[in-house]
A and B are shown apart, each in its own frame.
Chain A
Amino acid sequence: RKEVEQDPGPFNVPEGATVAFNCTYSNSASQSFFWYRQDCRKEPKLLMSVYSSGNEDGRFTAQLNRASQYISLLIRDSKLSDSATYLCVVTHWGGYGGATNKLIFGTGTLLAVQP
């Protein structure tokens, strides 16, 4: 079983739709949580960090439930330019002195916003 599991895709939605991505993680020692966006054949880029209190950045809202080990991302009023793969990412201290901060990625969910 993968440490970070995401919804299988692809998600095909019309412009203006609201779309939700879900993610679960298995390591209760996970410390930090993120959503990354990856365009086709490009590198991943940080979309937003995820905090226990929930956080919002424009049309994007991220939620974290530590008890259920569950992370979500909500995109409202989706745009054509939102089409990409969304990667759920966790970190936990490990390795030398607990300072590695390596990113552990889910497999990603492909979003295709249709005109």
Chain B
Amino acid sequence: DTGVSQDPRHKITKRGQNVTFRCDPISEHNRLYWYRQTLGQGPEFLTYFQNEAQLEKSRLLSDRFSAERPKGSFSTLEIQRTEQGDSAMYLCASSLERGGEQYFGPGTRLTVT
């Protein structure tokens, strides 16, 4: 399968714990995006990488959130000191170039208890 992959697919954690998600984009895609989707809402943009450079962060991304793409390939999204409001589906997408179609991964569903 050469699509976008995400790991884990599901994560249940207790409030206050740290969690990390991984995204592997389509191999030749240099643009990688993170979105968050809560129940009944459309996905909301969190952050974006072009190769290894993080070029934009939404104000939704509080100081507890950090994202990296160290070698311009896979990316990680870490949430520190999780809160119940962080419960959501975290979606990763990648695209080949500006304006190119964004292909989404299956998402990581986070539940904070």
Contact = CB atoms under 8 A, between A and B. Distances in A.
Nearest to B57: A95
Contacts of B91: 43-44
Contact of B43 (A95, A97, A103): A103
Given A43-B91, A43-B104, A45-B104, A99 B45 contact: no
A103 B102 contact: yes
B69 to A, nearest CB: 15
Contacts of A61: none
Count class of interface residues, chain A: 20 to 34
Interface string A85-109: 0010100001111011111111110
Interface in A42-100: 42-46, 87, 89, 94-97, 99-100
Contacts of A97: 55
B33 A102 contact: yes
B25 interface: no
5 contacts: A43-B91, A43-B106, A99-B50, A100-B48, A102-B45
Interface of B: 31, 33, 35, 40-45, 48, 50, 55-56, 91, 93, 95, 98-99, 101-102, 104-107
Given A44-B104, A95-B56, 20 more contacts: A32-B99, A42-B106, A43-B91, A43-B105, A43-B106, A44-B43, A44-B91, A45-B104, A95-B48, A95-B55, A96-B55, A96-B56, A99-B55, A101-B95, A101-B98, A102-B56, A104-B45, A105-B42, A105-B43, A105-B44
